[in-house]
Structure 1
Amino acid sequence: MAATPATAANGRLVSATALHTYATRADVDAALTADKFDPGTDRYGVRTYRLVYRTTDATGKPTTASGLVALPINDRVRLDTASFAHGTSIYKGDAPSVSDDVFLIGPALTFASAGFAAVAPDYLGLGVGPGAHPWMDIPSETTASLDLLRAARVFVARQGRQLSRDVYASGFSQGASAALGLGRALQSGADPWFRAAAVAPISGAYDFRHAEIPALFTPAVHPVLASAYTTYLLAAYDRLHDIYADPADVFQPPYVGLPALFDGTHPGEEIIPALPPTIDALLTPRGKALLLHPTGRFAKALAVADSVCTDWDPAMPVRLYYSPGDEEAVNANTAHCHATLGAPTVNVGVNTTYNGFVHEGSEVLAVPRVTRWFLDHVL
């Protein structure tokens, strides 16, 4: 599904707030290395800003969203843009424009210090955006990403600079699908100015129905995280697509009220202890059947999410970055996208020093490699 066509309201800049100044390359290096990012592509200091802009919600109604913009401190007037879509966040405060967590802002700092204008959408319902986040809803992730590009173009012009037409799109985990959705929308002509120059998703769940959901019921996915992802998926899709009549139909007691915690107002520190230790303890037989044998509106919604690797032929270079043994977005997702999209894969190796998870470590390993690949296209 392509992004909503441009309108006069989409992408209109509402406000811009200056956040941080990393005055020198050394300041950026210090921030990145504190969270184990490789600073090898750093060249410049960086200034960051929060933009609030107009977009549409998952039902097509007008709303606002927020996102991070990071600009290099240099004398270049014309800048290519790197868009980075973040991974799964449950809490509104865990979004690039409102968090100081380097894991969230590190990709934008890396791209900006390399010379790009970096944009990082918070998505709908995260950051300072209203409402609940429609998790893994590719159409609204696409429009939020595209409208942030439009708002950033206006903002950068007010700084006396200009964004070129070229957009280099990347993203991690949930954001990997969002990056592909953005590339697809730009290729389809969703915006009269911007065009996709290259797309580099990292560790995505591109085949939720046939790869990711079945893996949730196996040791391949960390059991507590399987419970978290399952609850988030069912809660978000029911909110948007009405896939079950009552939470008690799919969630076992005492977890019937668990979906209410996934409204964006509860941090992970509150949610994780409330999760069951396994997915089998979470779901009723009907809930398990819904996931493993989706029908109706649920099956249709999953097909839309999975279409980022099946319903288009990229005209720009695409590379799929991954770490072997990913215990969250299992590698079968990348294999599926490689087979259906024809894009080459890049094994970035394994780093478990970030919270002990291969999945999170793949972002830390991949972002510098993606940056170098994008720079190869520019230089």
Structure 2
Amino acid sequence: MQKSIPALSFRYLGFLLIWSLLILNSCKEDEPKVVPPAEENVYLKEITALKTLTKEQILQQASAFGPLAALYVKNGVKVYKITYKTKNTDGAEITASGALILPVAAGPVSMISVQHGTITDQDQAPSVFKDGSEGSSFGSLFGAMGYIIAYPDYIGYGASKNLPHPYEHRASLASASLDMLRAAKEFLRGQNEVKWDEKLYVAGYSEGGYATMSLQRKIEEEASSEFNLRASSCGAGAYDKTAFMKHIINDKTDGIAGYNSLYLWVLLTYDRIYKLNKPASYYFTEKYASKIAASGQNVSIAESFHLALNDSFKKALNDGTDKGFIDAIADNDVYNFKPKTPTRLYHGTKDPLVFFFNSENAYNAMQKLGATNVSFVKVADGTHSNSVLPFLVGTQAFFAETL
């Protein structure tokens, strides 16, 4: 099912979730009560209370989203930082972190795992919970709607900030997010502040959209017995890396330095993770190669990205001779599967950063594989930035349908 909506200025939004498990052993009145042994945590390492926000405080924050946002605020929240075990891209065990936001609510509530978009500042990591950050703003509001919110930092932020962030790397975004959920489950098992109804939802936009689809696929293929995944909402992610790569090496793009720095970041990340170990001069013209070798993705490329690339590199990709880089790109394609979970895609039709064809190709591939539970919302004339609010509003309504 495809839908089209205008790129209007939505003034309200919503969503988010979490769980709690109680085990009661009944016994006869004339027998001593049997207390089950405490389960040992496998993933969860440490818990730190960060902040408590009252309903009134969140109502004040919600006013920034417009008067209708206040209608969604039901409760206050308690915010925790959790650290947990996961694995780096090389398979080494590391400690990662994220924010866990609990609603102050009496009844059972659902959980939403929110995968954040691209960040370049450590202070923007969800577990820092800095005022004005995505995690603080949206996390508080969505938690106040009566959801438990799991907000992974990803590798490279928070507790693992000494490591490079594996930008747009499918496998590690999925594993770090899944292990965060496993740690959250262990946290909830050991507390009685909130009850989780065991329903899980996943959502994210931009890099978060890509991470969400990667997480959804991993849960469906490897962890379906662990989580009751109810719905997935993916906004403006670069799901078709192969088509994306072909586009930016051959076609003229906007030449915005901020966009190009992200394309450069992906290229350098794949070169490192897949041990391609090519010098910058292999990929880039001399105009940029020495600067990139010294400063990485922080180099400004203020022209169409394809003009910064060596003709020999572009030829090797187009004729298939650079198999190492081509295989690395293909390993990060995430869209070509048949979702088991109700899934909704959102994308602005005029997105100049993460091109619209990523979601269009994903939707078409899923339909071709026989998926009947995938819908596609095209934000008419939407850009990468102004399509965020339609995504958030639509996601809240989509998740509400499956509660």
Q: If the TM-score is normalised by the length of the shorter chain, which range does it land in?
A: 0.7 to 0.9
Q: Using the aligned pairs only, state the percent identity.
A: 25
Does the 8 Å contact 1:37/1:365 carry over to 2?
no
Q: Which residue of 2 aligns with 1:285?
A: 311
Q: Deviations over 1:84-104 (max 9, x none)?
A: 111122343332222433334
Q: Which residue of 1 aligns with 2:328?
A: 301
Q: Which residue of 2 aligns with 1:205?
A: 238
Does the 8 Å contact 1:28/1:45 carry over to 2?
yes
User: Are 1:327 and 2:352 an aligned pair?
Assistant: yes
SS of corresponding position for 1:344:
strand
SS of corresponding position for 1:256:
helix
Q: Deviations over 1:110-157 (max 9, x none)?
A: 431221111111111122314101111111111111111111112223
> Match of 2:272, as an amino acid?
R
Select which of 150, 157, 179 maps to 1:147. Answer: 179
How much has 1:333 moved relative to structure 2? 0.7
Q: TM-score, normalised by structure 1?
A: 0.83
Alignment of 1:263-274 (within 5 A): 271=298, 274=299
Equivalent pairs counted in the alignment come to 352
Q: CA RMSD in A?
A: 2.8
Does the 8 Å contact 1:322/1:334 carry over to 2?
yes
> Match of 2:60, as an amino acid?
A
Q: Highest Rg: 1 or 2?
A: 2
> Match of 1:284, as an amino acid?
N
Q: Deviations over 1:189-210 (max 9, x none)?
A: 4264213111110111111221
Which shifted more, 188-197 or 320-329?
A: 188-197
How much has 1:244 moved relative to structure 2? 4.4
> Match of 2:269, as an amino acid?
A
Does the 8 Å contact 1:94/1:127 carry over to 2?
no
Identify if the C-alpha distance between structure 1 residues 212 and 151 changes in structure 2 by more than 3 Å, giving closer, same or farther: same
How much has 1:230 moved relative to structure 2? 2.2
Does the 8 Å contact 1:319/1:344 carry over to 2?
yes
How much has 1:223 moved relative to structure 2? 2.4
Q: TM-score, normalised by structure 2?
A: 0.78
Identify if the C-alpha distance between structure 1 residues 322 and 109 changes in structure 2 by more than 3 Å, giving closer, same or farther: farther
Select which of 68, 74, 91 maps to 1:60. Answer: 91
Select which of 94, 97, 106 maps to 2:124. Answer: 94
Which shifted more, 140-149 or 248-257?
A: 248-257
SS of corresponding position for 2:243:
helix
Identify if the C-alpha distance between structure 1 residues 20 and 293 changes in structure 2 by more than 3 Å, giving closer, same or farther: farther
Identify if the C-alpha distance between structure 1 residues 111 and 172 changes in structure 2 by more than 3 Å, giving closer, same or farther: same
Greater RCO, CA 8 A, separation 6+: 2
SS of corresponding position for 1:30:
helix
Unaligned runs of 5+ in 1: 1-7, 264-270, 352-357
Does the 8 Å contact 2:111/2:148 carry over to 1?
yes
Q: Which residue of 1 aligns with 2:361?
A: 336
Which shifted more, 78-87 or 362-371?
A: 362-371
Does the 8 Å contact 1:248/1:256 carry over to 2?
yes
Identify if the C-alpha distance between structure 1 residues 193 and 165 changes in structure 2 by more than 3 Å, giving closer, same or farther: farther
How much has 1:258 moved relative to structure 2? 2.8
Unaligned runs of 5+ in 2: 1-38, 368-373
